[in-house]
Amino acid sequence: MMSLMLICALLPVVAMAAVSNAGCGSTKACFKSPEGCTLYTDCTFFLSYVDNAEMSAVDFEMLADRSGTDGSGWAGVGFSTDKSMGSDSVVMCMKPASEEGAVQTAFTTGTTNALTGTDGLSNGVVTVTNNILECSFTRNYSINGNANFYDIESTSYYFLIGTGPITSGTPTEHEDYPCASDMKLDITSKDDIMCSDAHHSSEESNNVAIMSPAAHLIIFMCGLVMALFY
């Protein structure tokens, strides 16, 4: 908890205007969930980004609907070489209950997400209004000598987008599987972001099969026939 308070003191905070979808598809790239939703009405998540070449950085905005909570929690975007969680460079917007918000980088190893600091970030601000978490920040393209802060200018990555709770001042696992962009994204792109469910690395999934209701019905009918005639 003290670490989040320290982050708030270290990362410059600026006044934040409401997250906006103005310019989506023309001056910035955007993602909405569900597709076609209206901000502040029925969007559960929104992300936009625009290249800020003058600062050798990218400007991000995020919005996450934290309905069903006190508004506290986190929203994050990860940069991944594949669509699986693990070995991802992440930026997290965090708002613990009764504390100021903070923006921090993180890196995932397997299914473990370790906060790493505020280097490479600026203009970060997190607010919560009516259980809607809003966040904006500027992320440098890269940090010399920091291999876990991926260079998003020279290399394209899949975007992993998610949200989750904060417990005792610490971000915990997302409520749902994050959304993964359908393709690796160029930071200069202005196209809308399309995505589908991301998945954990194989060490967590363990190849678990999920049967459809129809499959359950077939198994039940086969069992019934065997019980009647054998």
* Nearest one of 197, 192, 176 to 64, comparing CA atoms: 176
Would you state the pLDDT for residue 43?
93
Contact 19, 37 (CB under 8 A): no
Q: What residues have CB less than 8 Å from 12, skipping those under 6 apart? A: 122, 123, 124
Q: Look at the block and give the residue holding tokens 């970060």.
A: 124
Q: What is the mean pLDDT of the chain?
A: 82
Indicate if the pLDDT at residue 74 is higher than 80: yes
In this structure, the strands spanning 84-85 and 199-200 are parallel
User: Of the given ranges (10-19, 146-155, 160-169, 184-193), which has the lowest mean pLDDT?
Assistant: 10-19
Residue 10 has pLDDT above 50, yes or no: no
Q: Which fold has domain 2-229?
A: Immunoglobulin-like (2.60.40)
Q: How confident is the model at residue 17 (pLDDT cuts 50, 70, 90)?
A: low
Mean pLDDT of 150-178: 90
Q: Is the pLDDT of residue 133 over 50?
A: yes
Reported pTM: 0.79
CB within 8 Å of 56: residues ≥ 6 apart: 140, 141, 153
pLDDT in tens, 196-225: 765 554 333 333 233 334 433 333 333 433
User: What pLDDT is attached to residue 221?
Assistant: 38
Q: What is the pLDDT of residues 33-69, one digit of tens each?
A: 988 899 999 999 999 999 999 999 999 999 999 998 8
pLDDT, residue 199, reads: 55
The domain segmentation of the chain, as residue ranges, is 2-229
